[in-house]
Amino acid sequence: MHIDIAIASDQNMEVGLHVTLYTSLQFLDPDCFINIHLFSKDLPSKAIDRIHHTLSPFQDRYHLQLYDVASLDLGSGRGLHQSKMPYVILLVAKLVEAEKLLFLDADLIIRTDLSKLFAYSLEEKVVGAVFESSVSKVWSKERDVLVEIGLSEDAPYFNSGVVLFDAKQWKQKNLTSRCFEIIETYGKSLYNTDQTVINAAVKGDFFLLPKHYNQPFYPRGYPITKETSGICHLLGSPKPWDIFGEILHRSYPTFRGHLEQTAFCNYKSYLSPSPSRLRRAFNLSRSYSVALQHYLKYR
């Protein structure tokens, strides 16, 4: 069996990318071959070498296909945290030649066999994803956009960190163009850029995947443990690999256990303060403040 996954990363997400990719193969059915479609930005050739090093225990079970994000038209939207990388999900099903395509965020710990996801028929839906909330619970500006587009307030809204595409249908319905039309029209009102846009494009009509395929874990929330299974999504900021994530993220010990199996086995955030990581920390200053206050209060 062959499966196709798409994932996007820049330098700020590189450490998380390694854990996501390593655990994807670690828990995959050994008879399954995985085509990895990596959409990268600002990753030098040494970074690609590091990926192959991380995946060397599985060298006969994967193929890595690279896509240069700099060459893609990501529209006129503002993106998230001064980055348009989140928009990549809106393009992958158009660009990758595959009947089914699984998109994964680069902040996941995979503790399940991904090949089992491809057994879902999707029941003629364009995408399959895990329910996050109803439209009524989405932030007010984005809720207003979704309602204006035609979704009811009780319509389901999914998290876009794990999305299974029927890529053939996506292409036929030209949904990539629809997504960027939504960004062009409503971009200034959107914070959850990619997630709200793709929800708006499919208008609540998606196949509901079991919740264990996208479980949220926040910096100061309940931590991932050795017993946690499924797909663990490291939502919010700072991430475990962000500067001082070792202290501020409650799931860091588990993340560290997986990180030790990768090319970043000796990584320490405070020893690797690159300009891009420092800029990211500055852009996330509010999130850092909340995490630090929570840490000092409950440590």
Instruction: With beta carbons less than 8 A apart as the criterion, state whether 139 and 190 touch.
Output: no
In this predicted structure, what is the pLDDT of residue 140?
Answer: 86
Write down all domains in the chain, each with its CATH number in brackets: 2-213 (3.90.550.10)
Show the beta-strand stretches assigned E in the chain. 2-9, 33-40, 62-68, 100-104, 108-111, 127-134, 156-166, 207-208, 215-217, 230-234
Q: Look at phi and psi of residue 18 and say left if phi exceeds 0, alpha if psi is from -120 to 50, else beta.
A: alpha
Alpha-carbon distances of 223 from 45, 76, 176, 236, rounded to whole Å: 34, 37, 36, 13
Largest CA distance in the chain: 52
Q: Could you tell me which of 175, 174, 166, 163 has the C-alpha nearest to residue 202?
A: 175
pLDDT value for 79 = 55
pLDDT at 48: 97
- DSSP class of residue 4 equals E
HSE, CB side, 13 Å, CA atoms: give it for residue 262.
Answer: 26
pLDDT of residue 128: 98
- Residue 147 identity (one-letter amino acid): V
Burial of 180 (0-12, 13-18, 19+ CB in 10 A): buried
**Residue closest to 102 by CA, chosen among 178, 166, 10:** 166
99 contacts 167 by C-beta, under 8 angstroms: yes
Position 80 scores a pLDDT of 57
Q: Which two tokens stand for residue 277?
A: 């990581």
Q: Which two tokens mark 175?
A: 């949904």
Report the helix count and the strand count for the chain, using DSSP H and E.
11, 10
The per-residue pLDDT for 76 is 66
Low-confidence ranges of the chain (pLDDT < 70): 75-82, 192, 299
pLDDT in tens, 278-299: 888 888 888 878 888 887 877 6
pLDDT of residue 242: 95
